[in-house]
Amino acid sequence: MASITDAVTDTGSRDTRVLAFYLLGSAAQNRLRHDSDVDIALMPMPGTVISSIERAGIAHALSYRLRRTVDLGELSTRNLVYANEVLHTGALLYSKDPAATALVAANLLGLYLEFNERRQEVTRAFSL
């Protein structure tokens, strides 16, 4: 069985749409059991759209290589709560361009903070 790092590094280096991969869940916490799936977040290159079908293909290729189920999420502005969780609890496994990865991560965290501030305003308005 290939290591998770080897599998994502090979996949990321071959796929021009991938900027970075983060490891999450039990695998990131060194608690991977024989029946655990592997939770991975994909950070696409800026301006790149990866469809659900394409993401499923990447997940399938990783699953085949790792011989276990891979749950592949996407780091994007479409789910800032997920992005915040990944960037705070995940482990960066692969980055094609560390400076670009840091810039995208900083942008996502900034957008999450703005989103969270606005969400608090709405929550307070409806809790009266």
CA distances from 68 to 27, 54, 82 (A): 12, 19, 23
- For a pLDDT cut of 70, what percent of the chain falls above it? 98
Structure tokens at 9: 């590094």
Residue 3: phi, psi to the nearest 5?
A: -75, 155
Q: Which CATH superfamily is domain 4-126 in?
A: Beta Polymerase, domain 2 (3.30.460.10)
Instruction: Provide the pLDDT for residue 120.
Output: 85
Q: Is the pLDDT of residue 42 over 60?
A: yes
Across the range 25-54, mean pLDDT stands at 88
Whole-number Å distance between alpha carbons of 23 and 15: 18
Q: Which of 8, 37, 38, 28 is nearest to 88 (CA)?
A: 28
Regarding pTM above 0.85, the answer is yes
Q: What pLDDT does residue 2 have?
A: 59
| Token representation of residue 126 | 């409806």
Structural domain spans, the chain: 4-126
The total number of residues written for the chain in this structure: 128
> Terminus-to-terminus CA distance in the chain, angstroms?
56
Kindly report the average pLDDT of the chain as a whole number: 92
Give the per-residue pLDDT at 1.
Answer: 44
Please report where in the chains the tokens 């560390």 appear, as a residue: 98
